[in-house]
Amino acid sequence: MPDPIRLGLAEATDLLTQVFAACGCTPAAAVSVASALVAAEAEGQSGHGFSRVADYAAQARSGKVVADATPVLERADGTALTVDAGFGFAYPALDLALTALVEAANTHGTASVAIRNSHHCGALSVQVEKIAQAGLVGLMVANAPAAIAPWGARTPIFGTNPIAFAAPRAVGAAPLVIDLSLSKVARGKVMHARKSGQPIPEGWAFDSDGNPTTDPEAALAGTMAPIGGAKGTALALMVEVLAATLTGANASREAGSFFTADGERPGTGQFLLALRPGDPGGFADRLESLLTDIAAQEGARLPGTRRATAIARAEAEGIDVPAAYVDEARALASSHG
């Protein structure tokens, strides 16, 4: 297998911007999609990075994703905002939503935004960190095509339905960022294993007959294992209500695949909440006290520590991307440029 290719973050973003511009995205949308994928790669979320490029491009070319969609902020007053992503990529809609959300939360103390007619939104950590960088506490949930069965059943109803949270810390400290999929691992990791020709660890997924499998192809045709058993599926239901039922997006069982260029459009949803601490200084002090006590425990590790280390390394040294993905991206950029 060829050695990975090291790319600087600016170089990687420029390459992917060319790919999505060539696929019909507006200049702003091409930068938005490229930046989100590179940010995910930089923090170690390879299932939401370069491994998605060919699938995204194929869906843009087939029309499953409306490449030149312009998201619309439909309800911009008050604290309950709504955005229609227009069946385009999720990232331009998120950029629009976050700008309005931060402004509304700073004005009113709290605000939410519901996004519908959307698509795969990648690493939620990338988005909630922006809320925390604005001095707010942020929460985000998203639904995805059905991949998890209700506990005790075999037919998938829920997506991997991730949850992310971020909170600002004291001056000079990176925000606290927590991001988790409600499957044991994100489905993108299974897809990455399939493309890389690697098996997956036992316990990640089940085949279509409900048997544990290490074959990523069988896993993608079957269901993902939820975290925490029945508790995980209960959380997946909670996310489904917030991200789909509340927003008016497609339910997970109705959403088209994020991976294939054919079939129905996903039309999934995202829901974000921002809260302004009433006493920012006191909040920061209390949070630091809590995190210090956690870090002082032998064997304890604060959530997001590995992510922060990976980002720092990527900023200093660049990212190592499988050669096949880089070659694929370069071919897409040149063949459509």
Same domain for 92 and 41: no
- 309 lies in a domain? yes
Decide if 89 contacts 64 (C-beta within 8 A).
no
Contact 136, 274 (CB under 8 A): yes
How confident is the model at residue 272, as a pLDDT?
A: 98
N-terminal to C-terminal alpha carbon distance within the chain: 29
Note the pLDDT tens digit of each residue in 50-74: 999 999 999 999 999 999 999 999 9
Please check whether residues 85 and 55 belong to one and the same domain.
no
Residue 1 has a pLDDT of 53
At 117-131, the pLDDT tens digits run: 999 999 999 999 999
Give the total number of structural domains in the chain: 2
| Residue 333 domain boundaries | 1-68+304-337
Cα dist. 88→26, 29, 147, 228, 324 in Å? 11, 9, 22, 33, 26
Same-domain pairing of 294 and 308:
no
Do 102 and 138 lie in one domain? The reply is yes
Mean pLDDT by 10 residues, the chain (337 residues): 90 98 97 98 95 97 97 89 98 98 96 98 98 98 95 91 96 93 85 88 89 92 91 97 98 96 97 95 94 95 94 97 96 80
Q: Check if the beta carbon of residue 222 is closer than 8 Å to that of residue 213.
A: yes
Which of these, 145, 98, 129, 122, lies nearest to 33 by C-alpha position? Answer: 122
Q: What is the rounded CA–CA span in Å between residue 163 and residue 232?
A: 12
Q: 11-16: list long-range contacts, CB under 8 Å, 24+ apart.
A: 11/318, 12/38, 12/41, 12/50, 12/318, 12/319, 12/321, 13/38, 15/326, 15/329, 15/330, 15/333, 16/50, 16/53, 16/329
pLDDT score for 336: 58
**Model pTM?**
0.92
Q: Are 151 and 277 in the same domain?
A: yes
pLDDT of residue 281: 87
Is 16 a member of any domain? yes
Domain of residue 150, CATH code:
3.30.1370.60
Distance CA 242, CA 245 (A): 6
> Which residue spans within 8-98 are E strands per DSSP?
72-75, 80-84
Residues 204-237 pLDDT 10s: 999 988 889 999 999 988 899 999 999 999 999 9
**Is residue 9 located within the same domain as residue 80?**
no
pLDDT for res 337: 47
For 311-325, write each residue's pLDDT tens digit: 999 999 999 999 999
